[in-house]
């Protein structure tokens, strides 16, 4: 049992479990990664072949850290042999091995979100549809949701419920777009991110021999962050684990916050139903946070009904109470947080990287950025433009993709005339038409004289041929040269480096330096040993796979001494000594879009729980009395989540930074609320015992005079059916605010839920 040394009792019991299904319910900061790594090390120590262990994570960074830890315990050679990585990276590897079964090349391209939306935009245009109604981003989300639920294009078109939803939303031709999009991907030898899971399910479903092969190969399956799995991931695990049921899942239902990405909390809640013989282990000791933070978080999450019961506790010191700050405005809130960081940094001799500001939406960062800049406090924003999304980087990588897979239409279109080589829009339009007529890739048109467009002049055709010859020349090195050698050669001989070097502006110099940074990364990548094949050259195709599967967390260097600004979703899995949770106002956090059902509200509460449990030593909550939203100055009330924290853990009498006067949060709270007589006609789950003062009167927010069009305009109230000039018929869900700034939340079947200022909306009562 040497492999289990250093673990506490609960951790040791979980890590020492050998065969059969098991679930580890791991509270925040309870050391779940230690359990996973020590369990894998223990399996290997007990004679399990590392090649037969499949360990799935949600970031490549987490996989690397686990491999490093396991390597230190059992040796690097053994650790390298484990099938460990993200769902997408592991199954992309399997798809490349088995791709011919589903008529894909082994060097298929993986399209990112931007590529996918570009293809969808082209399909919409080709069908003659209005891209303002069929918005590419929205259609991509619809298709992504279908794929995550294992609904292919043909099944989508045959499903009357789905088609009915699309018709009701006024977009009846989404099924055609989905089919056209899938056909374009297949033609380009490309998969989108969702396909990596969807196509894996197709392989396991349609080829029983492959299912049997991988069931026998993976004797032990371990899944981290199981609460974040979607239906496609769930089905892969169910199928691969069906033969032996040596399935170990680790997660925390209280941290399930990704339903908008398709994650289904029921996967972890129902694990015992799926595996009646499973053994459940609970890791309940929090090693991260102070007692005040742990117990405050417990009082909030206890309000949720859908959860696995556990008693998270800590042996750490009590620590400071959680400060609650009431700001006059969002700018005042930014000023308070920036001053507080400066004060704490000085008083506690802390570094900037020990602080994090967490918010519900990216738009909230502005006020904090401004105030931190004024005070010369260094900061960085997570979730901004990633390095690999910069134009100059995408341009060079498009060349790499095209060399590896010439049928990649998106890569072709991006670089065929960059740097400029006299191939204009008219030429490419004719090429695109020819590709559509022959149902082939642009490259196939280029390299097949029989498909040459009749209206394409000789000079333009010659320039295209020169481009094709250049790409084919690069491809001769594809399987022999290292990723860096061929990458550097492409950057030079396409003229891309020369083009960037000509621009001597600060922005131009930065773009050139970014490309140099990419090539430096390729050099480092090329010099690393391939875990699967230590003697092999790491090729351009290997590099492209690595880049395509990077997550936001993987692109964080983690070394900069800067204050971190990020959404709470981006903060999951991270920890900081000092955390500021800002914008804690009703309709912002919890989000107004998540107040229609108990399930939605419970996910918002889990999001608050995640935010609070990121803090190690000190947590601060803040809200603003006024905030500009939708171009209007809004009056705000404190979030219900502040109320839900037991007051013994809160430091309510806070000093206002502007007035230097103490105030009592209870009195601030009473200015917004009074006892609730009923919760009738509310689309929002009621707040126990509380009600907005403005909702109490019969005439303030319950009924409002509007400038409605037509002679049927009049009194607007919750539950009334109305008509809008643009969105059509809808139903008023609720009203907020005081005249003249009353805001209505209206559901329109054709456009979804909208928030409208009544003084501008001109709603007509039906």
Pairing of strands 650-651, 322-329: parallel
Sign of the C-alpha dihedral, residues 263, 266, 270, 274? negative
Question: DSSP string of 278-302?
Answer: -EEEEE-B-SSS-HHHHHHHHHHHT
477 as an active site residue: the answer is no
Give kind and range of the element (H or E) at residue 366.
Answer: helix 365-374
Which residues lie below 8 Å from residue 734, measured CB to CB, with a gap of 6+? 681, 682, 683, 684, 718, 744, 745
Q: Which residue has the tokens 């009082």?
A: 299
745 as an active site residue: the answer is no
Q: Which residue out of 33, 215, 239, 709 is catalytically annotated?
A: 33
Q: Residue 180 to residues 177, 426, 440, 593: CA-CA distances in angstroms?
A: 5, 23, 13, 32
Nearest to 95 by CA among 217, 231, 198: 198
267 and 620 Cβ atoms separated by less than 8 Å: no
Q: Which residue out of 255, 364, 407, 684 is catalytically annotated?
A: 255
Q: Which residue out of 192, 195, 224, 585 is catalytically annotated?
A: 224
Q: Which residue out of 182, 225, 333, 764 is catalytically annotated?
A: 225
HSE (CB half, 13 Å, CA atoms) of 113?
11
- Give me the helix-helix angle, 231-241 and 208-217, nearest 10°: 80
Q: What share of the chain is helix, strand, coil (3-state, %, to 5)?
A: 50, 15, 35
Sign of the C-alpha dihedral, residues 653, 656, 660, 666? negative
Specify the 3-state DSSP secondary structure of 589.
coil
200 and 147 Cβ atoms separated by less than 8 Å: no
Nearest to 550 by CA among 193, 250, 265: 193
Task: In whole angstroms, give the CA distance from residue 416 to residue 468.
Answer: 9
303 as an active site residue: the answer is no
Beta bridge partner(s), residue 283? 26
93 and 64 Cβ atoms separated by less than 8 Å: no
Nearest to 609 by CA among 645, 643, 633: 645
680 as an active site residue: the answer is no
| Helices and strands of the chain, counted as H and E runs | 33, 27
Q: Is 149 exposed, middle or buried (0-12, 13-18, 19+ CB in 10 A)?
A: middle
Q: Which residue out of 32, 117, 414, 743 is catalytically annotated?
A: 32
Task: In whole angstroms, give the CA distance from residue 41 to residue 67.
Answer: 10
Beta bridge partner(s), residue 191? 110
Give kind and range of the element (H or E) at residue 327.
Answer: strand 322-329
Q: Which residue has the tokens 């804690």?
A: 584
Task: In whole angstroms, give the CA distance from residue 689 to residue 644.
Answer: 12
Pairing of strands 190-192, 109-111: parallel
Q: Which residue out of 187, 326, 614, 640 is catalytically annotated?
A: 614
Which residues lie below 8 Å from residue 80, measured CB to CB, with a gap of 6+? 67, 71, 531, 532, 534
Q: Residue 553 to residues 181, 560, 575: CA-CA distances in angstroms?
A: 29, 14, 13
Nearest to 351 by CA among 382, 377, 322: 377
HSE (CB half, 13 Å, CA atoms) of 429?
6
Q: Which residue has the tokens 């794929």?
A: 147
32 as an active site residue: the answer is yes
614 as an active site residue: the answer is yes
Q: What is the 3-state secondary structure (H, E, C) of 534-546?
A: CCCCCCHHHHHHH
Retrieve residue 37's tokens: 């790594």
Would you name the residues annotated as active-site residues? 32-33, 224-225, 255, 614
């Amino acid at each position: 049992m040497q492999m289990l040394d250093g673990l506490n009792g609960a951790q040791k019991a979980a890590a020492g479990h050998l065969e059969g299904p098991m679930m580890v319910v791991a509270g925040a900061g309870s050391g779940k990664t230690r359990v996973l790594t020590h369990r894998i090390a223990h399996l290997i120590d007990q004679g399990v072949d590392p090649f037969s262990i499949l360990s799935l994570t949600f970031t490549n960074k987490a996989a690397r850290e686990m491999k490093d830890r396991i390597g230190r315990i059992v040796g690097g050679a053994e650790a390298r042999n484990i099938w460990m990585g993200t769902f997408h990276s592991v199954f992309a590897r399997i798809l490349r091995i088995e791709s011919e079964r589903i008529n894909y090349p082994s060097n298929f391209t993986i399209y990112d979100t931007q590529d996918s939306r570009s293809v969808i935009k082209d399909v919409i245009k080709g069908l003659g549809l209005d891209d303002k109604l069929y918005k590419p981003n929205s259609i991509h989300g619809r298709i992504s949701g279908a794929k995550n639920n294992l609904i292919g294009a043909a099944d989508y078109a045959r499903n009357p419920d789905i088609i009915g939803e699309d018709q009701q939303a006024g977009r009846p031709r989404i099924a055609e777009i989905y089919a056209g999009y899938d056909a374009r991907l297949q033609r380009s030898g490309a998969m989108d991110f969702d396909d990596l899971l969807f196509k894996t399910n197709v392989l396991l479903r349609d080829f029983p021999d492959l299912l049997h092969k991988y069931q026998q190969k993976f004797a032990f399956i371990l899944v981290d962050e199981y609460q974040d799995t979607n239906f496609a991931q769930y089905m892969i695990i169910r199928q691969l684990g069906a033969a032996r049921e040596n399935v170990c899942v680790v997660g925390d239902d209280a941290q399930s916050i990704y339903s908008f990405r398709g994650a289904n909390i029921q996967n972890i809640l129902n694990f015992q139903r799926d595996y009646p013989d499973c053994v459940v282990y609970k890791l309940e000791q929090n090693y991260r946070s102070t007692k005040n933070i742990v117990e405050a978080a417990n009082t909030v999450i206890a309000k949720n009904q859908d959860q696995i019961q556990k008693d998270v506790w800590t042996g750490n010191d009590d620590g400071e109470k959680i400060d609650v700050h009431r700001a006059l405005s969002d700018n005042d809130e930014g000023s308070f947080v920036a001053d507080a960081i400066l004060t704490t940094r000085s008083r506690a001799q802390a570094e900037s990287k020990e602080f994090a500001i967490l918010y519900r939406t990216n738009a909230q960062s502005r006020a904090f950025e401004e105030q931190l800049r004024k005070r010369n406090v260094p900061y960085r924003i997570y979730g901004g433009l990633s390095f690999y999304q910069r134009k100059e980087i995408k341009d060079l990588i498009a060349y790499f993709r095209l060399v590896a897979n010439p049928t990649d239409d998106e890569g072709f279109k991006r670089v065929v005339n960059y740097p400029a080589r006299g191939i204009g829009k008219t030429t490419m339009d004719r090429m695109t038409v020819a590709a559509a007529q022959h149902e082939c890739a642009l490259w196939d048109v280029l390299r097949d004289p029989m498909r040459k467009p009749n209206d394409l002049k000789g000079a333009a055709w010659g320039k295209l041929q020169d481009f094709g010859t250049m790409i084919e020349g690069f491809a001769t090195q594809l399987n022999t040269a290292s990723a860096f050698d061929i990458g550097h050669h492409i950057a030079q001989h396409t003229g891309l480096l020369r083009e960037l070097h000509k621009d001597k502006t600060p922005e131009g110099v930065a773009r050139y330096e970014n490309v140099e940074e990419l090539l430096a990364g390729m050099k480092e990548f090329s010099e690393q040993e391939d875990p699967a094949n230590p003697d092999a050259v790491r090729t351009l195709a290997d590099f492209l796979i690595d880049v395509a599967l990077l997550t936001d967390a993987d692109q964080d260097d983690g070394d900069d001494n800067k204050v971190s600004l990020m959404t709470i979703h981006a903060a999951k899995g991270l920890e900081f000594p000092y955390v500021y949770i800002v914008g804690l106002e009703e309709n912002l956090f919890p989000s107004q879009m998540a107040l229609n059902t108990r399930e939605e509200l419970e996910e918002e509460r889990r999001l608050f729980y995640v935010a609070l449990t990121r803090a190690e030593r000190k947590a601060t909550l803040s809200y603003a009395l006024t905030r500009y939203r939708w171009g209007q100055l809004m009056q705000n009330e404190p979030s219900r989540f502040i109320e839900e924290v037991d007051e013994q853990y809160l430091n309510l009498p806070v000093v206002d930074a502007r007035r230097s006067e103490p105030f009592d949060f209870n009195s601030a709270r009473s200015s917004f609320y009074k006892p609730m007589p009923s919760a009738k006609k509310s689309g929002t789950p009621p707040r126990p015992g509380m009600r907005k003062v403005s909702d109490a009167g019969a005439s303030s927010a319950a009924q409002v005079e509007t400038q409605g069009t037509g002679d049927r305009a009049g009194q607007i109230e919750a539950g009334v059916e109305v008509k809008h000039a643009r969105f059509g018929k809808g139903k008023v869900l609720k009203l907020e605010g005081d005249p003249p700034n009353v805001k209505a939340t209206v559901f329109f079947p054709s456009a979804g839920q909208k928030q409208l200022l009544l003084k501008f909306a001109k709603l007509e009562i039906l």
